[in-house]
């Protein structure tokens, strides 16, 4: 097993796996995945060894992100055009170092599937624990108008930006400033 990255540029790199979870994996979690990808690419070199994916608790595998999610994300430089949904499964959870969920029921599903509490968090309050899981949920925009998608995108964007320094720290990356 390799060690996590330190300030030593010759140290072996271990990839840190982040998983975002929502219901259908066509709106919220793809937005979060795309936002984090964009933020990591914008960091100065060297690029952090972080792998990002998303899944849905009730997803049908292989579905694209919804058209409104693609459109809203594109306005802010986040490309969801090639996203394809995947169903949350034990293997995906097992390979994830950090599981960030978008709603209370996703958190409960993670606990039911055995994700250790130290790896499972609500995105909205990460790295803190919310007093109320429901109040830390980001509403699902599916079937809503453009305004609902924008509201969800902005909430997710703010939460991912707030989480970035802690994600980098947990990945053992200390020489980057979060944007």
Active-site positions read 22, 28, 140
| Paired tokens of 88 | 């949350």
Helix 146-170 vs helix 67-75: crossing angle, to nearest 10: 60
d(CA 23, CA 56): 5
Question: SS3 of 109, please?
Answer: helix
d(CA 130, CA 132): 5
């Amino acid at each position: 097993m390799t060690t996590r990255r330190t300030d030593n540029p010759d140290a072996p790199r271990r990839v840190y796996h982040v998983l975002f979870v929502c219901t259908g994996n066509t709106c919220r979690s793809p937005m979060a995945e795309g936002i984090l990808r964009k933020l990591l690419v914008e960091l100065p070199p060297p690029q952090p060894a972080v792998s990002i994916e998303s899944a849905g608790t009730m997803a049908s595998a292989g579905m694209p992100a919804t058209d409104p999610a693609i459109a809203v994300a594109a306005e802010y430089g986040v490309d969801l055009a090639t996203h394809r949904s995947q169903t949350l499964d034990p293997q995906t959870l097992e390979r994830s170092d950090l599981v960030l969920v978008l709603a209370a029921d996703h958190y409960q599903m993670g606990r039911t599937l055995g994700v250790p509490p130290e790896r499972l968090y609500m995105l909205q309050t990460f790295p803190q624990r919310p007093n109320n899981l429901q109040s830390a949920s980001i509403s699902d925009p599916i079937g809503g108008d453009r305004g609902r998608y924008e509201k969800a995108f902005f909430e997710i964007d703010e939460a991912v930006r707030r989480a970035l320094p802690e994600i980098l720290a947990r990945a053992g990356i200390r020489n980057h400033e979060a944007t």
